[in-house]
């Protein structure tokens, strides 16, 4: 199902021959091995503080693709799911503000978090029948395939 999403493991540029210097390892590979090996959680994650990309499972069946995203602690109204051309995007923005006034002091706390995941859909997806539901911390999106894209059962052809 690599046609739905293609993200390098550590967020670096994909390793291609265009990045290579003749006789040397790929530059991306060289720096990954040298510098990131000891600090994977520090340097291979996003640098945006307060942003955490939810884990995603993508599964293909004969009739559809299924995207499951782990996003506990939210409500279904927190999500924005959009389809533009063949790009599906899932995003959310949460702001929280809390103020406590007690004798002699005021404590004010606030927080902000957001994420956005995008997926390029294959042409085989019937974009008029996409369904989404949120249940117990899991956002599930069903991407049905067009009838002509569904796998047809094997059959025998008679010779006349």
**112 and 36 belong to one structural domain:** no
**19 and 93 belong to one structural domain:** no
Please name every residue paired with 80 in a beta bridge, in sequence order, or none if there are none. 91
Residue 4: the pLDDT is 53
**122 and 104 belong to one structural domain:** yes
Task: Report residue 36's pLDDT band, with 50, 70 and 90 as the boundaries.
Answer: very low
**5 and 84 belong to one structural domain:** no
User: Looking at residue 78, which CATH number applies to its domain?
Assistant: 2.60.40.790
Per-residue pLDDT reduced to its tens digit, 99-146: 888 888 788 787 888 889 999 999 999 999 999 999 999 999 999 999
**38 and 55 belong to one structural domain:** no
pLDDT at 72 over 70: yes
Residue 153 belongs to some domain of the structure: no
Give 139-142 contacts, CB < 8 A, sequence gap 24+: 139/54, 139/68, 139/69, 139/71, 139/79, 139/90, 140/66, 140/67, 140/68, 140/69, 141/66, 141/67, 141/68, 141/69, 141/81, 141/88, 141/90, 142/64, 142/65, 142/66
pTM of the entire predicted model: 0.59
Q: Residue 92: which domain range?
A: 49-148
């Amino acid at each position: 199902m690599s046609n739905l999403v293609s993200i390098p493991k550590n967020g670096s540029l994909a390793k291609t021959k265009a990045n290579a210097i003749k006789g040397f390892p790929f530059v991306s590979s060289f720096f990954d091995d040298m510098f990131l090996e000891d600090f994977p959680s520090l340097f291979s994650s996003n640098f945006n503080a307060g942003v955490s990309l939810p884990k995603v499972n993508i599964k293909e069946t004969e009739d559809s693709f299924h995207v499951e995203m782990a996003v506990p602690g939210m409500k279904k109204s927190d999500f924005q799911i959009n389809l533009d051309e063949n790009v599906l995007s899932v995003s959310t923005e949460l702001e929280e503000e809390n103020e406590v006034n007690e004798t002699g002091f005021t404590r004010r706390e606030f927080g902000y978090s957001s994420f956005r995941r995008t997926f390029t859909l294959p042409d085989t997806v019937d974009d008029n029948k996409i369904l989404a539901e949120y249940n117990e911390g899991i956002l599930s999106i069903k991407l049905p395939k067009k009838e002509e894209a569904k796998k047809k059962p094997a059959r025998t052809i008679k010779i006349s």
